[in-house]
Amino acid sequence: MEKYRLIKEIGDGTCGIVFKALNLQTNDVVAIKKMKRKYFFWEQCMNLREVKALRRLDHRNIVKLKEIVRENNELFIIFEYMECNLYEIMRERVATFSEDEIRSLMSQMLQGLSYMHKNGFFHRDLKPENLLVTNDIIKIADFGLVRETMSKPPYTDYVSTRWYRAPEVLLQSSSYTPAIDMWAVGAILAELFTLSPLFPGESETDQLHKICTVLGTPDCSIWPEGMNLLRANHFKFFQFPPANISHIIPNASSEAIDLILQLCSWDPLKRPTAEQSLQHPFFHIRSWIPYPLQDQYYPRISQPVSGASPKLELNLWDFGTESDDSFLGLTLAVKPSVSDLDSNNHVSGQSQEELLFCSGFQGQCAQSLFWPLVPSDHNVMNNAQVNPPISSPYLVNSQAIQPSMGVPESSGYSFPQLQPKIFEFGQFMNISSSPLQQRSFFD
């Protein structure tokens, strides 16, 4: 330990004391966990679940183990240093987190947790204090209560901090699963919205009371196994109807509320896994681009013909001026049905459909390829076509037409009302008479 100089104590837990320290050889700042008990053999150190787990887990959202040192029968575990934990951040916040911030933090935590579960471990003590943060990167830490998923019960019932303890653990189940981690994730997600714990019980009995006031009292149809645990412990649930979570967490979206309720299901079998949680709509809310999105070089169009439906088109351009250029530009545009191009380059104030072009590219396009977006059940490979290039000065004519390529079919979304028709520039714009002929869209 001579190569480390302790700077200050930053934490005191059940198993050890954590110090901020400096590696004198590399000048790296590290965190050193000094274990409180004595270790007389190296095998004892290597058999610690925390050590075994951290030696196997290597993920950007799990704190990194750097070194293990046993000196004078004392064990020191050296980790990468993180600036603070999530609890400290929440405690110092004046305003609540935005949903985008919460989404980022939760996504990272779930990615680390999914990796951990897939590699055979569950944490058993997830809470804001054990989630370390540096520069908006969050990492799961403190594996003192970690357990192998393949290990056989019985498990101890005194795991996790009470506020984040799953009901099956509170009822002293000895055969719980990694679903207890997912309960804690749900409680943490709710706390990020309100900056206060969702179930702040003062004892195990009060903890179950707090859960009932929020989720309502379960019965045999909601949690069959829980009724057996109640009878085994001679315990009777408090009778409460489920509360309106939207009133408890008013700043959360409906997607966030739904994910919290799924994660905090009474029945552990109904809780989504970490991997399934990452597929929840809460993490895939669409970003809307406000209208109008304008580019200084795109042509403006006249009013569309009444009753005509627009066509959505995906264009792939090769903007190379040399034969070895490989710069690609990608545009997504809506083709309104129009009678003609307004020669004055003016659009009516009521028009809500516009054609978008890329700008900011140097030179002209040597070749062009147009791909349509088609319904998911349409044979793209057999129907995609290639339009001839636009005449100069907008695009340089290409003698060799590129072979058509299909757009991969999307499993999640389809556009059943779109027509698989390529953008017809010749019908859409009168290139020869347009006043825009004297400049390129890609200047």
Are 195 and 90 within 8 A, CB to CB?
yes
Known catalytic residue at 125: yes
Whole-angstrom Cα distance, residue 157 to residue 41?
Answer: 29
Helix (H) or strand (E) holding 8: strand 4-12
Where helices occur in 140-267 by DSSP H, the ranges are 167-170, 179-194, 204-215, 224-232, 245-248, 254-263
Residue among 420, 371, 348, 428 at smallest CA distance from 394: 428
Are 58 and 105 within 8 A, CB to CB?
no
The C-alpha torsion from 220 through 223 and 228 to 229, rounded to 10°, is -140
Tell me which of 125, 136, 219, 324 is the catalytic residue. Answer: 125
Helix (H) or strand (E) holding 31: strand 29-35
Whole-angstrom Cα distance, residue 310 to residue 301?
Answer: 13
Report the DSSP pairing between strands 147-148 and 121-122.
antiparallel
The C-alpha torsion from 239 through 242 and 245 to 246, rounded to 10°, is -130
Q: Distance of alpha carbon 348 from its chain centroid, rounded?
A: 41
Q: Distance of alpha carbon 267 from its chain centroid, rounded?
A: 25
Q: Which amino acid is at 21?
A: A
Q: Is 122 helix (H, G, I), strand (E, B) or coil?
A: strand
Angle between helical axes of 179-194 and 99-118 (0-180°, round to 10): 170
Positions annotated as catalytic residues are: 125
